[in-house]
């Protein structure tokens, strides 16, 4: 069963890649540039050199954490579409903790914790709406995305704006609040090992511990989990909080590791790409690593394509949509075949 | 008094695209299908409307294009999520990403070298002048959308077709035992609902915004989803929900213009916050169709 799922994911990734390349070729022709040069840019710009590989890893870090967050939520029966807003609230809280608090050594811990807590609380709002009011979290998490977007926008025009007040951005975080580079002089920061360790931790919790079992059971059949005496409501709220905290941590790492300051449109879209990452991975945590690498490569390659061949990089978003369509199509076909096979078995 | 009329009229104008999309989503959810791809459907509709209206110089041709784009989105969604029984949330999310990527890329490619898709013809405004300039600014689709509220409300409450549609969302197995094809009816409802979503996008660019830019829908499709919950799955309730959004948007513009010493970004939050606060009173599950979001499998 598990082996099958991996095969399906690889098929989905390959079809999605073909669709993406097809879109890119079409756009290249429409834009009047050479399709071959475009394809070359897509590859060389993502994995062709150590610089482009580094750039790819910088996209991978947030995608990994948000992807794990979304997969964790959906496995637990929480339809969290709000990783984008949780990421933004994480980035906002992390910046506040870095800029407004006087610098002290080890401040980066506070920065990361603030981000995770803010993301977790933001998702918990949607959890409370579901538990208390019965409102579907698909809707509330989406609304919270917009509110987070404008809160960040307000913060960088208002209370968190740089002292010089020339640009809508915060002052840079002090060195004590930053994550250092992994290698001296390298692009990649210490967020990578953090993201990998957290991914491993979530995978272990979900597959090897009692709370993980309860969450997966509730995700598959909430009524049965309730009959089994599981604290379904408490667990559900926990699942909201943890998945939000993962996205919030991603936002904090983006600030502390990469940008060093808050500005509008930060990490724009990672939370939505995370949905494609999670579903391409079949909601399996180990698969999220590969799916995140796939989309990080595609997105960095698309940016190179734009620079070299003038093909709009936003096509990478269309490729994410195409991937989800393929995943849904294959999932539907699997159900259909399972139905037709059952009577004979 | 006149200020109040102005605000209400402006609110209606701003709410109109959301109302059309929400009525489409209401129809979709009533038969038991949750389509979170409304935002993407609106975006495709908006783009089709902008391109066709700009090239033909006729807003009505643009709206027909928006309808067609909506139908195409509906067929894609229904084919996967209804016929095949694929996960409705995934297909909806896919539609949103596809729309953002494809319309964004085409917009950038098409805008290069031409005047772009900037100046668009406006939807006709039939309102008589004596009602005042603001009421007269309401275009024909505002009135059509209000009429549709009445029609849908009547169909759901008083007609056999309406009862069948509601039964599809409450207990599809029971409908199937009557010899009715659940999937076929659901596909039909989804396609009509998506056509309204496409039209909503067209209305947005030709009636409200006046031009197409990347991501022009700015979350209005998601507000439409919220309005359906807020309105407890009734047509009149949906109208109320979209008016909350429209009035909050209208107020936001006014408050921005006043310069009260508060950052304007906070006003942008108003419509979304108002919808979220309104949901506090929603008690959603009590009124939600029982089979909402669950794919129907025969046998």
pLDDT at site A51: 84
pLDDT digits (tens, 9 = 90+) for B218-245: 889 988 998 898 888 999 999 998 988 8
Sign (positive/negative) of CA torsion B20, B24, B27, B33?
A: negative
Q: Which residues on A lie below 8 Å from B95 (Cβ)?
A: 321
Does B101 fall in a domain?
Answer: yes
Instruction: Give CA–CA dist B280/B259, Å, rounded.
Output: 30
Q: Which residues on B lie below 8 Å from A129 (Cβ)?
A: 279
Is the pLDDT confidence value at A79 over 90?
Answer: yes
pLDDT digits (tens, 9 = 90+) for A315-341: 888 888 988 898 888 888 877 787 776
Domain count, chain A: 1
How far A258 CA lies from chain B's nearest CA (Å)?
Answer: 25
Does A243 fall in a domain?
Answer: yes
Does B114 fall in a domain?
Answer: yes
Does B112 fall in a domain?
Answer: yes
Structure-token pair, residue B263: 């950052």
pLDDT digits (tens, 9 = 90+) for B147-184: 999 999 999 999 999 999 999 999 999 999 998 899 99
Q: Residue B101 is nearest to which of A140, A317, A336, comparing CB atoms?
A: A317
Interchain contact, A314 vs B105, CB within 8 Å: yes
Does A321 fall in a domain?
Answer: no
Residue A159 contacts B where some CB pair is shorter than 8 Å: no
Enter the ipTM: 0.87
Instruction: Give CA–CA dist B180/A162, Å, rounded.
Output: 64
Interchain contact, B225 vs A139, CB within 8 Å: yes
Interchain contact, B94 vs A339, CB within 8 Å: no
Is the pLDDT confidence value at B83 over 50?
Answer: yes
Is the pLDDT confidence value at A1 over 60?
Answer: no
Does A14 fall in a domain?
Answer: no
Q: H helices of chain B, where?
A: 2-30, 38-56, 59-77, 88-111, 133-136, 140-158, 160-170, 172-177, 182-203, 220-230, 235-258, 264-279, 284-287
Does A96 fall in a domain?
Answer: yes
Nearest residue in chain A measured CA to CA from B39: A142
Percent of chain A with pLDDT over 90: 55
Q: Which residues on B lie below 8 Å from A139 (Cβ)?
A: 222, 225-226, 229, 279
Lowest model confidence (mean pLDDT) among B1-5, B112-116, B185-189, B239-243: B112-116
Does B84 fall in a domain?
Answer: yes
Sign (positive/negative) of CA torsion A161, A163, A166, A172?
A: negative
Which of B43, B75, B97, B220 to mutate: most A Cβ within 10 Å?
B97
Does B49 fall in a domain?
Answer: yes
Instruction: Give CA–CA dist A56/A78, Å, rounded.
Output: 29
Domain that residue B228 falls in: 2-124+135-287
Instruction: Give CA–CA dist B264/B127, Å, rounded.
Output: 32
Residue B184 contacts A where some CB pair is shorter than 8 Å: no
Does A246 fall in a domain?
Answer: yes
Interchain contact, B268 vs A318, CB within 8 Å: no
Which of A15, A306, A314, A340 to mutate: most B Cβ within 10 Å?
A314
Check which CATH number belongs to the domain holding B61 and give it.
Answer: 1.10.3470
Q: Residue B80 is nearest to which of A31, A272, A328, comparing CB atoms?
A: A328
Interchain contact, A335 vs B112, CB within 8 Å: no
Q: Which residues on B lie below 8 Å from A312 (Cβ)?
A: 104-105, 108-109
Confidence of residue A304 (pLDDT cuts 50, 70, 90): confident
**Residue B112 and residue B56 in contact, taking contact as beta carbons nearer than 8 Å:** no
What one-character DSSP code corresponds to residue B250? H
Confidence of residue A144 (pLDDT cuts 50, 70, 90): very high
How far A271 CA lies from chain B's nearest CA (Å)?
Answer: 12
How far B199 CA lies from chain A's nearest CA (Å)?
Answer: 22
Instruction: Give CA–CA dist A72/A62, Å, rounded.
Output: 15
Residue A197 contacts B where some CB pair is shorter than 8 Å: no
Residue A179 contacts B where some CB pair is shorter than 8 Å: no
Interchain contact, A331 vs B285, CB within 8 Å: no
How far B58 CA lies from chain A's nearest CA (Å)?
Answer: 25
Confidence of residue A256 (pLDDT cuts 50, 70, 90): very high
Percent of chain A with pLDDT over 70: 96
Place of tokens 């936001």: B252
Distances (CA, A) of B75 to A313, B41, B78, B80, B251: 27, 11, 5, 8, 37
Does B294 fall in a domain?
Answer: no
Interchain contact, B101 vs A79, CB within 8 Å: no
Domain count, chain B: 1
Instruction: Give CA–CA dist A295/A62, Å, rounded.
Output: 11
Does A282 fall in a domain?
Answer: yes
Lowest model confidence (mean pLDDT) among A8-17, A118-127, B85-94, B210-219: A8-17
Does B130 fall in a domain?
Answer: no
Nearest residue in chain A measured CA to CA from B299: A339
Interchain contact, A147 vs B98, CB within 8 Å: no
Better pLDDT: A263 or B126: A263
Q: Residue B80 is nearest to which of A275, A317, A332, comparing CB atoms?
A: A332
pLDDT at site A198: 98
Interchain contact, B101 vs A319, CB within 8 Å: yes
Does B296 fall in a domain?
Answer: no
- Please return the burial class of B176, using the count of CB atoms within 10 Å of its CB with bins 0-12, 13-18 and 19+: middle
pLDDT at site B241: 87
Question: Average pLDDT for residues A144-165, to the nearest whole number?
Answer: 92
Does A122 fall in a domain?
Answer: yes
CA atoms within 13 A on the CB side of A114: 22
Q: Which residues on A lie below 8 Å from B214 (Cβ)?
A: 314
Place of tokens 């090897």: A208
**Residue B238 and residue B228 in contact, taking contact as beta carbons nearer than 8 Å:** yes
Domain that residue A168 falls in: 62-302
* Count of A-B CB contacts under 8 Å: 173
pLDDT at site A248: 98
Does A16 fall in a domain?
Answer: no
Residue A64 contacts B where some CB pair is shorter than 8 Å: no
Residue B80 contacts A where some CB pair is shorter than 8 Å: yes
């Amino acid at each position: 069963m598990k082996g099958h799922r991996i095969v399906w994911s690889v098929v989905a990734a390959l079809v999605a890649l073909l669709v993406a390349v097809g879109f890119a070729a079409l756009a290249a022709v429409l834009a009047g540039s050479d399709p071959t040069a475009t394809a070359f840019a897509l590859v060389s710009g993502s994995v062709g050199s150590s610089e482009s590989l580094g750039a790819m890893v910088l996209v991978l870090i947030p995608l990994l954490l948000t992807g794990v967050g979304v997969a964790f939520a959906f496995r637990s029966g929480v339809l969290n579409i709000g990783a984008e807003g949780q990421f933004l609230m994480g980035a906002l809280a992390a910046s506040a903790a870095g800029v407004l608090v006087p610098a002290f050594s080890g401040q980066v811990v506070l920065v990361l914790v603030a981000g995770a807590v803010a993301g977790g609380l933001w998702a918990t709002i949607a959890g409370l709406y579901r538990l208390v009011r019965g409102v579907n979290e698909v809707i509330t998490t989406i609304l919270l995305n917009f509110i987070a977007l404008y809160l960040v926008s307000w913060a960088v025009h208002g209370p968190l704006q740089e002292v010089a007040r020339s640009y809508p951005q915060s002052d840079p975080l002090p060195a004590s609040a930053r994550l250092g580079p992994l290698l001296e002089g390298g692009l990649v920061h210490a967020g990578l090992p953090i993201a990998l360790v957290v991914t491993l931790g979530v995978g272990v919790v979900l597959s090897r511990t009692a709370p993980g079992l309860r969450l997966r059971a509730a995700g598959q059949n909430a009524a049965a989990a309730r009959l089994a005496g599981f604290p379904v409501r408490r667990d559900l709220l926990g699942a909201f909080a943890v998945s939000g905290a993962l996205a919030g941590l991603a936002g904090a790492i983006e600030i502390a590791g990469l940008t060093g300051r808050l500005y509008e449109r930060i990490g724009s879209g990672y939370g939505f790409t995370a949905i494609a990452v999670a579903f391409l991975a079949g909601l399996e945590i180990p698969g999220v690593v590969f799916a995140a690498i796939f989309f990080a490569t595609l997105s960095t390659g698309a940016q190179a394509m734009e620079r070299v061949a003038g093909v709009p990089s936003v096509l990478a978003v269309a490729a994410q949509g195409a991937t989800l369509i393929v995943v849904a199509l294959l999932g539907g076909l699997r159900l259909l075949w399972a139905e037709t096979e059952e009577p004979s078995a | 008094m006149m200020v109040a009329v102005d605000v209400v009229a402006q609110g209606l104008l701003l709410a109109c695209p959301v109302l059309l999309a929400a009525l489409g989503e209401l129809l979709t959810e009533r038969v038991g299908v949750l389509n979170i791809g409304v935002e993407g459907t609106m975006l495709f509709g908006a783009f089709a409307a902008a391109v066709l209206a700009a090239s033909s110089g006729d807003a009505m041709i643009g709206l027909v294009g928006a309808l067609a784009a909506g139908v195409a989105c509906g067929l894609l969604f229904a084919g996967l999520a209804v016929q095949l029984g694929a996960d409705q949330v995934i297909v909806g999310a896919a539609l949103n990403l596809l729309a953002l990527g494809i319309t964004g890329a085409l917009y950038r490619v098409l805008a290069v070298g031409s005047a772009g898709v900037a100046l668009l013809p406006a939807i006709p405004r039939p309102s008589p002048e004596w009602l005042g300039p603001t009421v007269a600014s309401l275009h024909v689709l505002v009135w059509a959308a209000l009429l549709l509220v009445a029609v849908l409300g009547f169909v759901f409450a008083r007609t056999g077709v309406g009862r069948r549609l509601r039964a599809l969302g409450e207990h599809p197995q029971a409908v199937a035992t009557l010899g009715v094809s659940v999937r076929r009816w659901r596909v039909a409802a989804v396609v009509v609902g998506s056509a309204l979503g496409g039209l909503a996008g067209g209305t947005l660019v030709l009636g409200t915004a006046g031009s197409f830019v990347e991501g022009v829908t700015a979350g209005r499709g998601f507000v439409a989803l919220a309005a359906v919950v807020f309105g407890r799955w009734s047509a009149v309730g949906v109208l109320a929900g979209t008016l909350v959004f429209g009035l909050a948007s209208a107020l936001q513009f006014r408050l921005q213009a006043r310069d009260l010493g508060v950052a304007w970004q906070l006003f942008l939050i108003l419509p979304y916050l108002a919808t979220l606060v309104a949901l506090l009173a929603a008690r959603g599950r009590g009124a939600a169709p029982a089979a909402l979001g669950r794919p129907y499998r025969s046998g």
